[in-house]
């Protein structure tokens, strides 16, 4: 198997997100080359060009990628514009073809990370190869599955690894194509602090106008990089037309990103930050004590229900509790979805406690 000649590294710098841009899919040779050129001239901060060659599509009979010939176009665009390139691989034969074509960086898509069999097949194909690999989160909100996929690639000996957060499928309707569930990448960063974490606001938002705000949100959360789908004529794109932006829009997005978050650590701000944090810690402690008290009562009520042969879950009572919480939440400016989720969690724990009697 050929080894890669270009040694791209995830060069992570504070306040300077690593930028990856390019079309959802490579469509024609001219498209790839012209786009690479446009990105280079309008957004020189972009350090890696992306394009999908094999596209995992939800339904059959839609455009499933241009296939292997696209690798040659990508490499040509890379040579002409002196920018490294990356593409998605989803099975061993993709890895082999991409390595043969000397693609610089690989990424593994959300529909692959979800399957340990596929991840192992890709990991085995990568054994003994020195190439950077980016692993997108699985489509379902499962941190262990994401970590498991990353571990398989690590165990194959790959040293340069990054994670990409592209949001999660949800049964509920939402303004996002894939809900961000920010707590999952935040927890990934806590468990793997040295793993570069890149955000893909294009696949989270699914709509052009959400890309900028999501990119800023990722920067605010200290993500290390951004992957943004870019196309010369987004409306005519062969896949993901609604979420792609032009190189000009990308340049504007980059220019308007406020990345100099370090300013918050200037001396005059510090004492105030400490005061806020002390106040938050005090309230968190209070919340925890109240929750413990609530759970103790759940335990007692569980005993009583058992004694009196009363069912643990009382749907009517639960409906009333939710209604009251939503009303009080609204009066206090708390969002419906937050209150509902919070109370569902509290209720679940309470049921567990009652069942333990
Ligand atoms: C993509 O990056 O074009 C892609 C298919 O992404 P995901 O795996 O996040 O759906
Ligand atoms: Mn896409």
pLDDT digit string, tens, across residues 232-241: 999 999 999 9
How high is the pLDDT of residue 1? 40
177 lines ligand 1 (CB under 6 A): no
Q: What percent of the chain has pLDDT over 90?
A: 85
pLDDT of residue 6 exceeding 80: no
- Name the closest-CA residue to atom 1, ligand 1: 24
Check residue 4 and give its pLDDT. Answer: 44
Beta bridge partners of 198: 164, 225
Q: List, for residues 122-170, the tens digit of each pLDDT value.
A: 999 999 999 999 999 999 999 999 999 999 999 999 999 999 999 999 8
d(CA 135, CA 147): 9
pLDDT tens-digit series, residues 30-41: 999 999 999 999
What are the CA-CA distances from residue 198 to residues 19, 32, 214 (Å)? 9, 23, 12
Q: Whose CA is nearest to atom 6 of ligand 1?
A: 109
Scored b (16 or more CB within 10 A) or e, 140-159 reads ebebebbbebbebbeebebe
What the block records as the tokens of 85 is 């390139």
Q: Is the pLDDT of residue 203 over 60?
A: yes
Tokens coding 330: 């609204």
With a 6 Å cutoff on the Cβ, whether 89 touches ligand 1 is no
165 close to ligand 1 (CB < 6 Angstrom): no
CA of 164 from ligand 1 middle (Å) equals: 10
* Contact residues for 155 (Cβ-Cβ < 8 A; gap 6+): 123
Atom of ligand 1 nearest to the CA of 240: 3
274/94: higher pLDDT: 94
Backbone angles phi, psi at 11, to 5 degrees: -90, 95
Residues 18-45: what's their mean pLDDT? 97
Give pLDDT, residue 24.
Answer: 98
Is residue 266 pLDDT above 60, yes or no?
no
Q: Which atom of ligand 1 is nearest to the CA of 52?
A: 3
Q: What sign does the CA torsion over 321, 353, 170, 167 have? A: positive
Burial status of residue 273 (CB atoms within 10 A of its CB: 0-12, 13-18, 19 or more) = exposed
Reported confidence tier of residue 2, pLDDT bands at 50, 70, 90:
very low
The residue whose CA has the least distance to atom 4 of ligand 1 is 109
C-alpha 110 – ligand 1 centre gap (Å): 6
Global confidence as pTM: 0.85
Answer yes or no: is the C-beta of 109 below 6 A from any ligand 1 atom: yes
- Is the pLDDT reported for residue 115 higher than 80? yes
Mean pLDDT for the stretch of residues 258-262: 71
Q: Mean pLDDT for the chain?
A: 93
């Amino acid at each position: 198997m050929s080894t890669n000649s270009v040694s791209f590294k995830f060069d992570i710098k504070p306040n300077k997100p690593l930028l990856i841009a390019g079309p959802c899919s490579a469509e024609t040779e001219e498209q790839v080359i012209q786009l690479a050129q446009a990105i280079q001239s309008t957004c020189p901060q972009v350090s890696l060009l992306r394009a999908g060659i094999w596209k995992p599509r939800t339904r059959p009979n839609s455009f499933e990628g241009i296939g292997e010939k696209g690798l040659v176009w990508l490499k040509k665009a890379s040579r002409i514009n002196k920018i490294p390139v990356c593409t998605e691989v989803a099975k061993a034969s993709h890895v082999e073809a991409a390595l043969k074509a000397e693609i610089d960086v690989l990424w593994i898509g959300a529909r692959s990370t979800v399957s340990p069999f596929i991840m192992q097949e890709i990991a085995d194909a990568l054994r003994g190869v020195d190439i950077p690999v980016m692993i997108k989160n699985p489509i379902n909100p499962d941190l262990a599955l994401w970590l498991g996929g990353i571990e398989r690639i690590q165990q194959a000996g790959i040293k340069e690894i990054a994670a990409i957060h592209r949001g999660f499928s949800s049964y509920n309707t939402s303004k996002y194509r894939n809900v961000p569930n920010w707590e999952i990448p935040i927890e990934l960063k806590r468990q793997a602090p040295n793993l570069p974490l890149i955000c893909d606001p294009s696949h989270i938002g699914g709509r052009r106008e959400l890309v900028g705000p999501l990119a800023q949100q990722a920067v605010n959360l200290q993500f290390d990089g951004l992957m943004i789908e870019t196309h010369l004529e987004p409306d005519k794109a062969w896949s993901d037309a609604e979420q792609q932006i032009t190189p000009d829009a990308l340049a504007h997005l980059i220019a308007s990103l406020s990345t100099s978050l370090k300013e918050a650590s200037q001396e005059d701000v510090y004492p105030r930050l400490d005061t806020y944090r002390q106040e938050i810690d005090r309230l968190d402690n209070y919340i925890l004590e109240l929750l413990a008290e609530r759970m103790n009562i759940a335990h007692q009520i569980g005993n009583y229900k058992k004694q009196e042969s009363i069912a643990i879950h009382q749907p009517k009572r639960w409906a009333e509790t939710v209604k009251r919480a939503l009303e009080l939440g609204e009066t206090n400016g708390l969002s419906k979805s937050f209150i509902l989720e919070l109370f569902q969690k509290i209720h679940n724990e309470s049921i567990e406690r009652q069942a333990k009697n």
